[in-house]
Amino acid sequence: MKKLLVLAAALAASALSFGQHASTTDGSGTYQNPDGNVSIRRATVVMNENRQLQLTLEGSRRVSLFGTWSRSENGRYEVSVKTAQNNSTPPMTGQIDVGNGTYVRRINVASAEGNFRWNISFVGTRESTGNPTNPTNPTNPTNPTNPNLPGAPIDVLRFTDAPRGNGDWQYLGSRASLNRVTVDAQRDGRISFEFPGISRFKIVARYSRLRGDTLPVEIYEGFGARDVRGTGVVSLTRDHTKVLRLTLNGTADGQRFNISFIQGRLAINQNVQGSGTAEVGRNNPQRVYAAQVILDQQGLFTIRGTDGSNLHVNGTWTEDRAGVITLSVTDIRGRRTSYGRGTLNLDTRTDQVRSFSLSGTTDGESFFFDFTVR
342 bridge partner residues: 327, 358
Mean pLDDT, range 290-309, rounded to an integer: 90
* pLDDT number for residue 18: 38
Q: Are 217 and 207 in contact (CB under 8 A)?
A: yes
Please say if the pLDDT value at position 48 is more than 80: no
> Which amino acid appears at position 46 of this protein?
V
Calpha distance 365→85 (Å, rounded):
86
Q: Are 270 and 189 in contact (CB under 8 A)?
A: no
Tell me what the pLDDT averaged over the chain comes to: 80
Q: Are 348 and 318 in contact (CB under 8 A)?
A: no
* pLDDT number for residue 75: 80
Please say if the pLDDT value at position 192 is more than 80: yes
Read off the pLDDT of residues 51-105 as tens digits, 9 standing for 90 and up.
Answer: 878 787 888 877 878 888 887 677 888 999 877 545 556 788 999 998 766 678 9
pLDDT band at 330 (very low <50, low <70, confident <90, very high): very high
| Strands ordered across the beta sheet of 214-222 | 159-161, 182-185, 190-194, 203-206, 214-222, 228-236, 243-252, 255-263, 164-171, 174-180
Mean pLDDT, range 353-365, rounded to an integer: 94
Read off the pLDDT of residues 313-329 as tens digits, 9 standing for 90 and up.
Answer: 999 999 878 789 999 99
Long-range CB contacts (within 8 A, 24+) of 142-151:
146/54, 146/64, 146/66, 148/66, 148/84, 149/46, 149/48, 149/52, 149/54, 149/66, 150/50, 150/52, 151/48, 151/49, 151/50, 151/52
Q: Are 167 and 178 in contact (CB under 8 A)?
A: yes
Read off the pLDDT of residues 106-122 as tens digits, 9 standing for 90 and up.
Answer: 999 998 665 667 889 99
Calpha distance 317→325 (Å, rounded):
7
More confident of the two residues 19 and 209: 209
Q: Are 271 and 306 in contact (CB under 8 A)?
A: yes
Please say if the pLDDT value at position 130 is more than 80: no
Radius of gyration of the chain (CA): 29
Please say if the pLDDT value at position 22 is more than 90: no
Residue percentage of the chain with pLDDT more than 70: 82
pLDDT band at 148 (very low <50, low <70, confident <90, very high): very low
Please say if the pLDDT value at position 231 is more than 80: yes
